[in-house]
Structures are given as C-alpha cells and as structure tokens.
Amino acid sequence: MSIRERLSGNEAIAYAMKQINPDVMGAFPITASTEIPQYFSTYVDNGEVDTEFIPVESEHSAMSTCIGAEAAGCRAISATSSCGLCYMTEMLYVAASDRLPITLAVSCRALSGPININNDHSDAMGVRDTGWIMLFAETNQEAYDNYLQAMRIGEAVGLPVMICQDGFITSHAIENIELVEDDKVKSFVGEYKPAHYLLNKDEPMAVGAYATPVYYMEAKRQQAQAMIDAKSVIRKVGAEFGEMTGRSYSLIEKFMMDDAEEAIVIMGSSAGTAKQAVKELRAQGKKVGLVKVRSFRPFPSEDICAALAGVKAFAVMDKDDSFNGHCGPMFAEVASSMFAAGICGPKGISYIYGLGGRDVRVESIQKVFAELEQIADTGVTGETYRYLEVRE
C-alpha cells in the first residue's frame, strides 16, 4: 500500500532522495531549494541514509563534485535554484557532454535583477540548452514522482536530469501526497552500474578530453541523439511508473483537448490554475483545452503538433522571457515545431506571465482564453508578444 502523507515539494524531493539513498550529494543552499539539502543532511546525520554529503562552498563546486563523483562510478545528486543554477551553468554543459547521469532538483525561481526570491522559470530556461533532460512538475506529487523516474531515464541514455518544480508554489506549499513504499522505490530505481568509471582498477579511464575540430562535432551529435532517444525512454519509464503507482506519465499531458478550438500550452504549477479555468469555461460551453509540457528537454515537438494541429488559436504561456523582442522561449519551440511539421493553420500568440512570483489566478487564464476566442473568431492575431497582467 502506498503511504498517504502531507509534504511540501522540497520535503517530497528530499524524501525521494532518502528512499533512493544515492552515493554522493554535493549541495549549496539557495532559496527556494535550501530545504532539500537541509532535510537530506538530517537524514545523513541521523543515519537514515549512508550517502556522503559534501557541503560545498558554492553551486559551481556542487556541480563539480557531482561530476567528479558520477565519473568515479557513483550516483551523484544536487539541488539548487535561481542564481545557483546560473552559477553552475558552465558545469552543466560539462556534465552533459561527459554523459554523466547526475540528478539535479531545481526549485525554480526568478533571476536577478531586480533581486527576487519568488517563482518563475527564468533560471531553468536559462540552462535549457546545456544538454540536460528537464522535467517539470505541476504538483508536489509530480515533483516526487518525476524524481523517482529521473535516474532510470538519465542512466538509460547517459544524460543528466533536472527535476524542476515551482519555487514556493510547490516547493514550500504542503499538499497531500502518495508516497511509494521503500522496497518498491529501490527495485524501480535499481542499482547504478556504469559501463566505465574512474575507480575501476581493471580499466583506467580518462574523462574530459580536449577535442579538436576533428572530433568535437561527433561528440555533440551523439549528445543530440541521446536527447532524441530520451523521448521514448521517458514515455516507457512513465508508463512503467504508472503500472506501479497508477500514475502514468508521458512527455505532455492533454487536458480537454479532444475537440478544443482554443488552447493554451503551459508548464509547471500554473497548469493547475489553468485547468480550473478550462473547466469553468467548458461549463459555459466554450471549446477550450490545455497542453501541459512535462518534458521541456527533450522537447515533445511531435506530441505538441498533434495536440495543436486542430485548434483555431493557441497561446504559449512562458513564465520567463527570452528578451528576443518577439516571444518567450517555449513559444519559439512550439512555433518552430509546428512550422517544421507544416502546420500553419492555428494562430499562435506568446504570453509572458507570472514573472518574479506575480500571482496567476483562474481569471488571469480566462482572460487569455477570451483573447484566443476573439482571434479564433476574427482570424486577426494582432500583437503576438504579450505580457499578462502587467502595469504598462
């Protein structure tokens, strides 16, 4: 029987870490993820896990120690937020190119400046091209479930995995949660058995070569292939997790999309708010729906195209901005996916929302749907780059 509990998102992640009992954790505190290493070091000091905890002097060193430990042959984990994620960015690229399946919990938070400790996705979006698999959670339950799947996915394709949740909104809010029993977690996650590792006395190994132009591009192509391959692995592991728990996962989640004429694409905790907006509009007879992106990397282009091909208008909600002068980063991904697939019918707009913890309410999302309805009716898109509920 699964265990019913009430946990914050950070507690849920720390609990998943405890159940997995990885070999090494290197971490540095930063709001909103600070509690994760706090909870975890309590498990360590009370002997509830036998993980080696390295209380490093910075996030850069947190990721550096993880790279060293994972290359040495261990499961290595960390947790961070915001500027901490920025500070380890250089090492995120190395972790991915060294093909080290490290697991990093991210409690997403805005970036300076102005300095702000609340939630948006600027930190995660800033590292979207580092070569990490990135899974986003709507709820504490999903954050926990995603974490339990992370090592299976990362180790299968040889890529590191970021498990993202929304800072404070899920990281600190306490929700009901169903925990998986320890023995089931252990057998689901399994043992880490790398093919090659530094501490193998029978086969010395060299990691982190200098690659000239003759070899560099092949290394990158293999990384690209691993990310492509990750799509089917995420689906497979998500289905297997569903068999164990009754909660299945894929790359995206479609909500009331079957006959939808207007849709929004959204990621993270706001999907919950948006689902409520969709339900209320459906009750009024509006044909609206929602696509929640769970896997941002790899980006589920085929699934999104299939979901949006039949709509008249859609909005992609970005909780961050690219500052490219025309759209948010997820809009760019969605639009390029559809254009590449030859789907040019639906009208799309980019919405920037919820920056630095700006509250997103059911009515906020309904406003977006009202605009989509107008676009669908008139065929006139107007300004495609919009900010939601901002003083201008």
Partner 1 sequence: MAYNLKENLEKGERLCGGHRMCAGCGSPVAVRSVLRALNPEDHAVVCSATSCLEVSTFMYPYTAWKDSFIHNAFENAGATMAGVETAYRAMKKRGKIDGTWKFIAFGGDGGTYDIGFQSLSGAMERGHDMVYVCYDNEAYMNTGIQRSSSTPHFADTTTTPAGSVIPGKIQQKKNLTRIMVAHNIPYVAQTTFMGNFKDIEEKAHKAIYTPGPAFLNVMAPCPRGWRYPSEKLMEVTKTAVETCLWPLYEVVDGKYSLTYEPKKKLPIEEYLRLQGRFSHMFKPGNEWMIEQVQKEVDRNWDELLQLCSLGAVAAR
Query: Least Å distance between CB 18 and partner 1?
Result: 15
Q: Do 257 and 289 contact (CB within 8 A), yes or no?
A: yes
Give the integer Cα–Cα distance in Å for 293 and 130: 19
Query: Least Å distance between CB 70 and partner 1?
Result: 8
Q: Tell which residue, 358, 23, 343, 337, has the closest CA to residue 169.
A: 358
- Identify which of residues 71 and 86 has a Cβ nearer to partner 1 in the complex: 71
Burial class (CB in 10 A: 0-12, 13-18, 19+), 303: buried
What tokens appear for 66 in the block? 């993880």
**Would you tell me which residues interact with partner 1 (CB under 8 A)?**
23-24, 26, 50-52, 54-58, 60-61, 64-74, 76, 90-91, 94, 198-201, 204-212, 215
Query: Least Å distance between CB 198 and partner 1?
Result: 4
Query: Least Å distance between CB 154 and partner 1?
Result: 17
Query: Least Å distance between CB 227 and partner 1?
Result: 21
Q: Do 256 and 307 contact (CB within 8 A), yes or no?
A: no
- What SS3 state is found at 300? coil
Q: Do 322 and 328 contact (CB within 8 A), yes or no?
A: yes
- Identify which of residues 3 and 209 has a Cβ nearer to partner 1 in the complex: 209
- Identify which of residues 66 and 388 has a Cβ nearer to partner 1 in the complex: 66
**Which residues touch 177 (CB under 8 Å, ≥6 apart)?**
4, 5, 6, 7, 12, 140, 141, 144
Query: Least Å distance between CB 26 and partner 1?
Result: 6
Query: Least Å distance between CB 108 and partner 1?
Result: 24
- Identify which of residues 30 and 360 has a Cβ nearer to partner 1 in the complex: 30
Q: Element (H or E) spanning 373, and its range?
A: helix 362-378
- Identify which of residues 76 and 372 has a Cβ nearer to partner 1 in the complex: 76
Q: Do 74 and 23 contact (CB within 8 A), yes or no?
A: yes
Chain centroid, CA 194 distance in Å: 24
What tokens appear for 210 in the block? 């200098």
State the distance between the two ends of the chain, measured CA to CA, in whole angstroms: 53
Give the integer Cα–Cα distance in Å for 358 and 387: 12
**Which residues touch 365 (CB under 8 Å, ≥6 apart)?**
264, 270, 273, 274, 277, 278
Give the integer Cα–Cα distance in Å for 147 and 162: 9
Chain centroid, CA 33 distance in Å: 14
- φ/ψ of 380, rounded to 5, equals -100, 120
Query: Least Å distance between CB 103 and partner 1?
Result: 14
- Identify which of residues 73 and 126 has a Cβ nearer to partner 1 in the complex: 73
Burial class (CB in 10 A: 0-12, 13-18, 19+), 203: exposed
Query: Least Å distance between CB 44 and partner 1?
Result: 11
- What SS3 state is found at 315? strand
Query: Least Å distance between CB 29 and partner 1?
Result: 14
